Amino acid sequence: MKTEKKLLRGFKIITLGLLIMGVSSSVAVAADSSASLDDLSISKMQEPTSSADKMKSTFQGTLRFEEDKYASEADNNPKLNQSMLVGANIDLDFQSSRWHNKIDISGEKYLDLGSSNYSVQELYTSHLWNDGKTQVAVGRKLEFWSQVDKDWQLGLWQPLATFDALRPVDQGLTGVFYKQKIGDFEILGLASPIFIPTMGPSVQEKDGSLVYDSRWNRSPSSSFKLYGIATGIVYSLDSYNISKLVENPGAGLRVRMGGDHDGAWASANYGYKPINAITLQYSKSLDLNSQTGDVTVGPNVAYHQIFGGDLGYKYTNGMVAVSYLQDMPDPKKPSDDWILQNPHGLQAIGVHGDQAYVVPGFLNPIGLTLGYLKVIGGGITDYDSTGTPQGAIFAQRLNFTNAASVQMDFTTTAWRKKLTTSVKFLRDFDQQGSLLHTELNYFPTSSVALLLGGDVLGVDNDSASNLDSGFLNQYRANDRIYGGMSYVF
């Protein structure tokens, strides 16, 4: 154990040192006023340090001010009916023929709730050889592993930031990456000595209850029936050592043929690593004197094998692909007097299609994206130390299991200023429910956007008797509209 800790500490020091070297190598910026909201950046080519190694530095930052208003009131927490959010994203990119370093971090704060969220999408340094065909990277890095995992943000390969369940953000894996290209063939290997899980809203222990400052997490039940009588539950959080969560290594491999140009492409992936979503373990006891149940809840890390393949065809204005991904969790027994979540294995099948249409009167081609997802399995069962099932706190690992989606993105002008619009509709056939999202961004200047959007969730059976635990039914009361402003610098 001491040796592992020393290796981990050395890895962290080396990573930090390399990042500092890459960042300190150059910073130079110049405004680009013609870019879109997603592409706006400040960049400038530095003076070359040598004729063979020219460094290009790019800096992009975004500030977002947004107010959300929900259509219905939150149970027992009126503060969640309306919220003011301030968010920021910083993206630094340093590239040359030999080096590629990147920092992409985000933070947000709810002014009326007082809670703050932070995430690191990418933070790495990499060295390139053989005209960029060989790359070794150290740090946190986003890579393509699976099309269905990417399209539906399943979080099976790479972790997510899920502070807002309708806006999950992909996070890179952390470790050493090796990438080699030989013609159209590419191999990617990952060795990860540490584990950073999917991050969501923080939970607090308050007056014997577990409370989230978010409408996208449900607090567990505060009572249960004992001999037909409602009995209260008192919750507490188990103290844990963060190093036990972080010090969990993993590895992955992906091979791909084609994909960089028009034509057919194929990809295959395999990994053995921690499951990105933290599982829960808990103990429970009954105090007969006070007629209350005591429940202590803590985190746990589970492992899984994950593998799959993709087949696709890329052409000038779009791409079609089919994707398969299988997840096989390792069974695990809890310690005595504890109950542990055990995720079931699952198979995910995805179909992807996207097309760009050039239409007169629009500034950019109209983007149309179609998708379909089918998940087999993916349930969760809680077991005690004897292997006896104890029900399940959560019944399903994923938000969607049998869903189709269509999304359109287009850019036009209004009052001689740019206007971007995105509309997405999703239907889950297992849940018999739908999700509609739309957002408009109007640019009075090239760096300022006024935004207006909304989300509508619903199920066919919206009666109070519908106790389905699916995502759309659980959060069908979270219809909202939002407005605000984005500033790109």
Domain range for residue 266? 2-488
Assess contact for 329 and 343: CB atoms under 8 A: yes
The tokens describing 142, both together, are: 């986003």
DSSP letters spanning 207-232: TTEEEESSTTSPPPPSEEEETTEEEE
CA distance linking residue 314 with residue 317, whole number of Å:
8
The tokens describing 349, both together, are: 């099948």
What is the pLDDT at residue 206? 73
Assess contact for 113 and 83: CB atoms under 8 A: yes
Q: Sign of the C-alpha dihedral, residues 419, 488, 103, 248?
A: negative
CA distance linking residue 178 with residue 134, whole number of Å:
8
Q: Identify the CATH number of the domain in which residue 29 sits.
A: 2.40.160
Tokens 């829960």 belong to residue:
280
What is the pLDDT at residue 390? 86
Q: What share of the chain is helix, strand, coil (3-state, %, to 5)?
A: 10, 55, 35
What is the pLDDT at residue 288? 57
Question: Exposed/middle/buried for 229, CB within 10 Å: 0-12, 13-18, 19+?
Answer: exposed
Q: Walk along the chain (489 residues) and give the pLDDT tens digit of each residue.
A: 433 343 344 434 333 343 333 333 333 333 333 333 333 333 333 334 444 567 799 999 999 999 999 999 887 778 889 989 999 999 999 999 999 999 999 999 988 777 789 999 999 999 999 999 999 999 999 999 999 999 999 999 999 999 999 999 999 999 999 999 999 999 999 999 999 999 988 777 776 677 777 888 876 666 555 555 556 677 888 877 788 899 999 999 999 999 999 999 999 999 999 999 999 898 887 765 666 778 888 899 999 999 999 999 999 999 999 999 999 999 999 988 899 999 999 999 999 999 999 999 899 999 999 999 999 999 999 999 999 998 887 889 999 999 999 999 999 999 999 999 999 999 999 999 999 999 999 999 999 999 999 999 999 998 888 888 899 999 999 999 999 999 999
What is the pLDDT at residue 38? 37
Q: What is the DSSP letter of 81?
A: G
Give the chain's domain count.
Answer: 1
CA distance linking residue 29 with residue 42, whole number of Å:
5
Q: Write the CA distances from 116 to 107, 166, 200, 202, 278, integer angstroms.
A: 7, 18, 11, 9, 20
Assess contact for 430 and 412: CB atoms under 8 A: no
Other beta carbons within 10 angstroms of residue 176's beta carbon come to 19
What is the pLDDT at residue 29? 30
What is the pLDDT at residue 17? 40
Nearest to 189 by CA among 173, 178, 181, 180: 178
Under 8 Å CB-to-CB from 262, ≥6 apart: which residues?
Answer: 314, 315, 316
DSSP letters spanning 398-418: SS-SEEEEEEEEEEEEETTEE
What is the pLDDT at residue 12? 41
Tokens 């000595």 belong to residue:
193
DSSP SS3 for 130? helix
